[in-house]
């Protein structure tokens, strides 16, 4: 049950991180859980959360989040199944349990990103896909969505061991495919731009730093969660 799961979120060092503040508000309001674990950095305003300090010395954010995730999976106090989140995942509607979602076949996601450039993310997608195909998963699904993902510690450690040699392992995808979690297909909810084109009735949202700070979606999220959560020190607003 979701209420028995912890929420785990990697947090980069040194940021005031207002998106995390509102993500926590949304989880407190709408996502049943046991505890929240911040892995890496804990902003000074965060309270009532568990904290695992990690040394963020990786050459890329992908290496840092992989190290953080391994640390979480090896920590005895984190629930055996947890909800893996980012600090810009917002749950906008109450959930009784957190469903499992996927993004469809990796080949379709690859075709989308191939139109936007050929950076490290796309390279990691292709290398993760090739690894999974080599292991017999001929049509792997992508789990690279900006929504919470239920994860078992043992299953994720297995995925990290299998794909640990990749510079940019798509961890959610490797886990989801290797663990055979299935799920329901959905479109990604990441809002990239400042404009008003997003689903205001949807259960989940995610943002970019600029769209959260300056965009219509950011104003919508801040308006939706005006009250402080138990995970922050009190202040104005």
Could you state, in order of their start, the residue ranges of all structural domains in the chain? 99-142+154-179
Spatial separation of the C-alpha atoms in residues 43 and 41, rounded to whole Å: 6
User: What are the pLDDT digits (tens) for 45-59?
Assistant: 999 999 999 876 656
- Cβ within 8 Å of residue 139, ≥6 positions away: 105, 107
**Residue 172: closest CA among 149, 193, 139:** 149
User: Residues of 27-53 as b/e, b for ≥16 C-beta within 10 angstroms?
Assistant: bbebbbbbebbbbbbbbebbeebbebe
Spatial separation of the C-alpha atoms in residues 222 and 148, rounded to whole Å: 19
pLDDT in tens, the chain (237 residues): 567 899 999 998 876 789 999 999 999 999 999 999 999 999 999 999 999 998 766 566 778 888 889 999 999 999 999 999 999 999 999 999 999 999 999 999 999 888 877 689 999 999 999 999 999 999 999 999 999 999 999 999 999 999 989 989 999 999 999 999 999 999 999 999 998 889 999 999 999 999 999 999 999 999 999 999 999 997 644
Tell me the longest C-alpha to C-alpha distance in the chain. 55
Spatial separation of the C-alpha atoms in residues 11 and 40, rounded to whole Å: 5
- Three-state DSSP class for 225? coil
Spatial separation of the C-alpha atoms in residues 8 and 100, rounded to whole Å: 16
- Three-state DSSP class for 55? coil
Q: What is the pLDDT of residue 236?
A: 47
């Amino acid at each position: 049950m979701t209420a028995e799961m912890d929420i785990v979120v990697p947090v980069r060092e040194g940021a005031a991180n207002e998106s995390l503040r509102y993500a926590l508000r949304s989880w407190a309001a709408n996502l049943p859980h046991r505890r929240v674990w911040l892995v890496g950095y804990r902003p000074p305003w965060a309270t009532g959360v568990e904290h695992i300090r990690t040394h963020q010395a990786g050459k890329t954010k992908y290496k840092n989040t992989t190290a953080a995730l391994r640390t979480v999976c090896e920590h005895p106090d984190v629930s055996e199944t947890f909800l893996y989140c980012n600090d810009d995942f917002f749950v906008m509607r109450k959930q009784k349990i957190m469903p499992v979602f996927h993004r469809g076949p990796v080949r379709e996601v690859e075709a989308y990103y191939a139109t936007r450039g050929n950076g490290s993310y796309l390279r990691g997608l292709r290398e993760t896909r090739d690894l999974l195909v080599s292991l017999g998963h001929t049509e792997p699904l992508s789990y690279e969505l900006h929504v919470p993902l239920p994860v078992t510690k043992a299953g994720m450690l297995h995925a990290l061991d299998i794909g640990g040699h990749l510079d940019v392992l798509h961890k959610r995808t490797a886990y989801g495919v290797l663990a055979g979690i299935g799920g329901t297909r959905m479109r990604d909810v990441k809002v990239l731009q400042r404009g008003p084109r997003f689903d205001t009735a949807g259960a989940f949202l995610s943002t970019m730093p600029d769209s959260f700070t300056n965009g219509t979606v950011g104003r919508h999220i801040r308006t939706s969660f005006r009250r402080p959560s138990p995970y922050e020190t009190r202040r104005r607003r």
